Amino acid sequence: MKRPLSAVTDRLVIIIPYLWLLFFFLIPFFIVFKISLSTTAIAMPPYTPVLSLSDGVAALMSQLGEFSFDNYIWLTQDALYFNAYVSSVVIAAISTFLALLVGYPIAYGMARAPATIRPTLLMLVILPFWTSFLIRVYAWIGILKPEGLLNQFLLATGLIDQPLVILNTHTAIFIGIVYSYLPFMILPLYSALEKMDYSLIEAAQDLGCTPISAFWKVTFPLSLPGVIAGCLLVFIPAVGEFVIPDLLGGSQTLMIGKTLWNEFFANRDWPVSSAVAVILLLLLVVPIMFFQQAQARAQEQGR
Partner 1 sequence: MKSLGNIRRDFAPWNQPDAKPYIQFKNITKRFGDFTAVNNLSLSIYEREFFALLGASGCGKSTLLRMLAGFEEPTEGQILLDGQDLRGIPPYRRPVNMMFQSYALFPHMTVEQNIAFGLKQDGMPKAEIEQRVADMLKLVKLGQFAKRKPHQLSGGQRQRVALARAVAKRPKVLLLDEPLGALDKKLREETQFELMDLQQTLGLTFVVVTHDQEEAMTMADRIAILDKGEVMQVATPAEVYEAPGSRFVADFVGNINMFEGKVADRNGAAATIAGANGLTIRTANAGDAAAGTEVAFAIRPEKIKVSSKKPESGDNVMEGEIYDIAYLGDMTIFHVQLGNGQVVKASSLNATRATEDPLSWDDKAWISFRNDAGVVLTR
| Alpha-helix residue ranges (DSSP H) falling in the chain | 2-21, 27-36, 57-64, 70-77, 79-112, 118-126, 133-144, 149-157, 170-194, 198-206, 211-214, 220-239, 243-248, 256-261, 270-300
**Member of 35, 186, 204, 254 binding partner 1 (CB under 8 A):** 204
Asked if 116 interacts with partner 1 (CB under 8 A), we say no
Asked if 209 interacts with partner 1 (CB under 8 A), we say yes
Write the DSSP string, 3-61: HHHHHHHHHHHHHHHHHHHIIIIIHHHHHHHHHHTSEE-SSSSSEE----GGG-HHHHH
Using the rule CB under 8 A, give the single segment among 17-25, 200-208, 240-248, 270-278 that binds partner 1: 200-208
Closer residue to partner 1 (CB): 268 or 297: 297
Using the rule CB under 8 A, give the single segment among 46-54, 108-116, 196-204, 231-239 that binds partner 1: 196-204
**Member of 12, 64, 202, 265 binding partner 1 (CB under 8 A):** 202
**Beta carbons of 32 and 277 less than 8 angstroms apart:** yes
**Member of 213, 267, 292, 293 binding partner 1 (CB under 8 A):** 213
Phi then psi for 40, rounded to 5 degrees? -70, 150
Report which DSSP code applies to 125.
H
Using the rule CB under 8 A, give the single segment among 80-88, 117-125, 130-138, 203-211 that binds partner 1: 203-211
Closer residue to partner 1 (CB): 162 or 210: 210
Closer residue to partner 1 (CB): 94 or 209: 209
Asked if 66 interacts with partner 1 (CB under 8 A), we say no
213 Cβ neighbours under 8 A, 6+ residues apart: 204
| Strands 47-48 vs 39-40: parallel, antiparallel or unpaired | antiparallel
What would the x/- binding string for partner 1 be over residues 151 to 170, using CB under 8 A? Answer: --------------------
Distance (Å, whole) CA 78 – CA 250: 22
Asked if 210 interacts with partner 1 (CB under 8 A), we say yes
Closer residue to partner 1 (CB): 218 or 231: 218
Using the rule CB under 8 A, give the single segment among 95-103, 135-143, 198-206, 251-259 that binds partner 1: 198-206
Query: How many CB atoms lie under 10 A from the CB of residue 3?
Result: 7
Closer residue to partner 1 (CB): 84 or 218: 218
User: What are the residues binding partner 1 (CB under 8 A)?
Assistant: 197, 199-200, 202-210, 213, 217-218, 221-222, 301-303
